[in-house]
Amino acid sequence: MRRSGVRSPSAPPNPPTPITIIARPPHKESVALPLNELSAGAAIGAVRAGSASVEAIVQTTFDRIDEREEDLRAWAWLDSEAALAAARAIDQRKDMGPLAGVTVGVKDIIDTAGMPTSYGSPIYAAHRPAADAYAVIALRNADAVIAGKTVTTEFASAFPSKTRHPHDANFTPGGSSSGSAAAVAAHMVSAALGTQTAGSVIRPASFCGVVGFKPSFGWLNRAGVKPFAESLDTIGVFVRRVADAGLVAGALDGRTDWMNVEPLSKAPRLALCRTPYWGQAQDDGRAALDRAARLLAEAGASVAAFDLPASFAVLTDVHATIMWWEGRRAFAHELAAAPSQVSEVLRGLLAKADDLSPRDHDRAQLAAARARTEIDGAFEDFDAILTLAAPGSPPPLSEGSTGRPIFNATWTLLHLPCITVPGLSGDHGLPIGTQLVGRRGGEARLLAVAAWVESAFAPP
């Protein structure tokens, strides 16, 4: 679906002070590549070197979307006219922002002025937000170009979206950030925004073979994002290179220590954590993690087995209690005003909160707080946790599932930064990513470790 004619304002009223960081282009990809295939960092470098214009990059973005969208179904809304106008304006500027050359898809639970934001629900089919979410304001101020809105599952929950896997349309791309992961994997855009409440950035990144980065809870401002669980929701990004994750996420809040990522200068100390849920992994998922550990050890990393404390085995239940308790309240209006337009799947999941009391939620929050304190100390002995990003390869569409977040929910509950590094594959030749988990607030080091892992996975 390619639409134009709905013009987005070039900047919302009363924007924050524009970001003035000049990002050093971190990649050396050849501009001989089709412009839509350049990583975000390479696109920035091409624009700054004068070898490509922002307009040319945006035009190839929409050419690629025209080529793949009918089969992929990654977009809820597109506006080529407004995107090209924004690109031409950026090309005329003497001083460009740090993301000039980057094209972005915005998950459709994140508000955009001048574009619809339907939250993946027919209830909001006609909804037009009055203002951009803070993350969108930040992207515009950094001179990224918003291509449109990417498909989300209903209210970023479990009911599958229309999006197909970018490498095999018979499989799910994951969820809930379905369109964002698929659009980046298909070279439609060089970056996309997603959100994670359980596993909605890390898992679809694994399925689609891209980098998914979820910072520590609360590190990126969520103003203008439709809430699900207020103590879990986190904005994340999808890109094709680890360094690009730092560039884009760092520009969202001026975090300069994320924006110039280099691989760790020495081999990292990695804690191989199979988690208490290892028995629920698929055979190809288990094989992929074991292979990742071998590859990284052969590259020089210290890889030591690490078991979570026995008390952590209940944390998926703790996570579920918090998520459904808070979700039931977040969607109180929709359930009351238009229950027939809420899917049976979501109604059933939110009904789990009916048997919970405020005391249950309080106890879950206290258990989560204790676990966060306990896990902090473990990072004295290693640089990152190495673990599964998903149970294995993506499920077939026929199963009606976007995959289970069993290997994500605990880390999300713990408020830890996580990143998916692609490079391995499983059944059907589809991607399987490796998840790295860092210390709370330790994004810069986690990104450096991930860049080292990325280079170790790269073919000679």
Q: Which amino acids are annotated catalytic?
A: 107, 176, 200
Beta-bridge partners for 434: 388, 421
Decide: 259 and 22 in contact? Cβ < 8 Å: no
Whether 229 and 203 have beta carbons less than 8 Å apart is answered as no
Q: Which of 19, 10, 12 is nearest to 253 (CA)?
A: 19
Residues 6 or more apart in contact with residue 109 via CB below 8 angstroms:
117, 119, 120, 152, 155, 156, 195, 225, 226
- Label the pairing between strands 269-272 and 302-305: parallel
In whole angstroms, what separates CA 205 from the centre of its chain?
A: 7
- Please state whether 392 falls in left (phi above 0), alpha (psi between -120 and 50) or beta: left
CA 400 to chain CA centroid, Å, is: 21
SS3 339: helix
Which residues, 6 or more positions from 328, have their beta carbon under 8 angstroms from its beta carbon? Answer: 335, 350, 353, 354
Cβ atoms 144, 374 nearer than 8 A: no
Q: Which residues pair with 407 in a beta bridge?
A: none
d(CA 301, CA 296): 5
